Amino acid sequence: MRRVVVLGGGHSKFCFNSPKTSVEMLSEVAMDAIRESSLEARDIQAINVGNVLGDFAEGQGMVQSFFANDIGCFNVPATRFEGACASGSIALRDAFIWVASGYYDIVLVGGVERATAMGTALATRTFAMFGDSRYEFPTGFTFPAAFGLLAHLYAHRYRIPLERLKEQMAAVSVQSHEYAMKNPHAQIHKQLSKEEVLKSFMVTTPIQLHDACPFSDGAAAVVLASEEVAKKLTNQPVYISGIGQTSSGKLSSQYQYLPRLRARELAAEQAYRMAGLTPQDIDVCELHDCFSIAAIIAAEGLGLFEFGTAGEAWERGETRLGGKIPINMSGGLKAKGHPIGATGVSQAYELTRQLRGQLVEQGRQVDEAKHALMDTLGGDGVLVSIIFSAA
């Protein structure tokens, strides 16, 4: 199996109510990625795209084919991936496998979503399609409700008073907003205090408005290449050193393991094993914080903290720049934004820049980062873990 390198990347500003179509947003970031890779459109041999709700949001399917043609990648195989919020990450993992196998030398990976056009009510309903529609949705089991229940389970399992857990969740949101302020691509550029989080309106107990990520429009892209090709194009290679992907049934079928997500733990184990690393080797992490409680659960499932302790770690500053393990220096889904098809590719874009030391001027660079971990959760249980390593 060949080594695979992330070359260039492109990233739009995540926003509300973009005036551009998904095809337009994706075309722009893809061309940025191609140019940064010192390539031309004709060099791309295949395209993978994460996109979830184009059909509903814009009445537009087949974004992968139309944008490929628009940027001059004529007649290449272009494939759309749907795995809810993990769609972009699945597209990235699949592209890695194609290049590692030797079938392709250069693959473009993109992700795009234009979810805000639907409005909150319809977007919440369409997001709920990626839980169980037959039994869970009719009982009110939207994703805010699901993570509210996970928060209650977490408090019970680890004997943390709910009000105390809410303070820890608030610390997650406050930190995310702080680093998003430094990220020009982030959707929300607004400082947030713990008091503002705890006074925001209740969405579904104990999830409040500022515990939740926004609906977002945006796109991101990266180019993957074989090591042999990359050596001719860059002197700062960032390697994909480990991948993991798992799935599970509807959330209610996981009741014996919750609030832990077994699929996440297994995906992370796969990635660590492939990379020959442990959680202690990770220097920076971008994880799936669709809700503040999701960040706490994810950090523990990835092995970064002991179970029941991650909330305290956020309060102590262990997840900040200079801390034990900097998490979501981009602002995360919570404040950078969450255009669901693009989220995983955005994480890859961010971590590639961390490992190249390109975020110093923005004030969110992790010093001497060598290994980075991304974690993406799709729906009730598609989990993708990918580890990146500097040369």
Q: For residue 21, what pLDDT band results from cuts at 50, 70 and 90? A: very high
Indicate if 228 and 198 belong to the same structural domain.
Answer: no
Cα separation of 141 and 44, whole Å? 42
**Nearest CA to 347 among 376, 371, 380?**
376
Q: Is residue 132 part of a domain?
A: no
**CA of 321: how far to CAs of 99, 178, 305, 324, 329, in Å?**
33, 11, 16, 9, 8
Cα separation of 316 and 305, whole Å? 13
Q: For residue 226, what pLDDT band results from cuts at 50, 70 and 90? A: very high
Q: Is residue 130 part of a domain?
A: no
- The reply to whether omega before 259 is within 30° of 0 (cis) is yes
Cα separation of 36 and 223, whole Å? 9
Indicate if 311 and 291 belong to the same structural domain.
Answer: yes
For the chain, the straight-line distance linking the first and the last C-alpha, in angstroms and rounded, comes to 18
Q: Is residue 124 part of a domain?
A: no
Q: Is the pTM of this model over 0.75?
A: yes
CATH number, residue 376: 3.40.47.10
Does residue 127 register a pLDDT over 90? no
Mean local confidence (pLDDT), 87-93: 98
Query: Three-state SS string across 13-24, please?
Result: CCECCCCCCHHH
Domain span at residue 44 reads 4-119+215-238
Position 124 scores a pLDDT of: 79
The per-residue pLDDT for range 344-389, each reduced to its tens digit, is: 999 999 999 999 999 999 999 999 999 999 999 999 889 999 999 9
Does residue 62 register a pLDDT over 90? yes
Indicate if 177 and 287 belong to the same structural domain.
Answer: yes
Indicate if 106 and 71 belong to the same structural domain.
Answer: yes
Q: Is residue 386 part of a domain?
A: yes
Give the residue numbers marked as catalytic: 85, 338
Indicate if 232 and 148 belong to the same structural domain.
Answer: no
Question: What ranges make up the beta strands (E) of 275-316?
Answer: 284-286
CA angle 62, 115, 187 (to 5 degrees): 125
Indicate if 233 and 204 belong to the same structural domain.
Answer: no
Cα separation of 123 and 265, whole Å? 29
Does residue 121 register a pLDDT over 90? no
The per-residue pLDDT for range 138-153, each reduced to its tens digit, is: 888 889 999 999 999 9
Mean local confidence (pLDDT), 205-217: 96
Indicate if 48 and 152 belong to the same structural domain.
Answer: no
Share of the chain above pLDDT 70, in %: 100
Indicate if 167 and 206 belong to the same structural domain.
Answer: yes
Does residue 313 register a pLDDT over 90? yes
Indicate if 265 and 362 belong to the same structural domain.
Answer: yes
Does residue 50 register a pLDDT over 90? yes
Per-position b or e across 197-213, b if 16+ CB within 10 A of its CB:
bbebeebbebbbebbbb
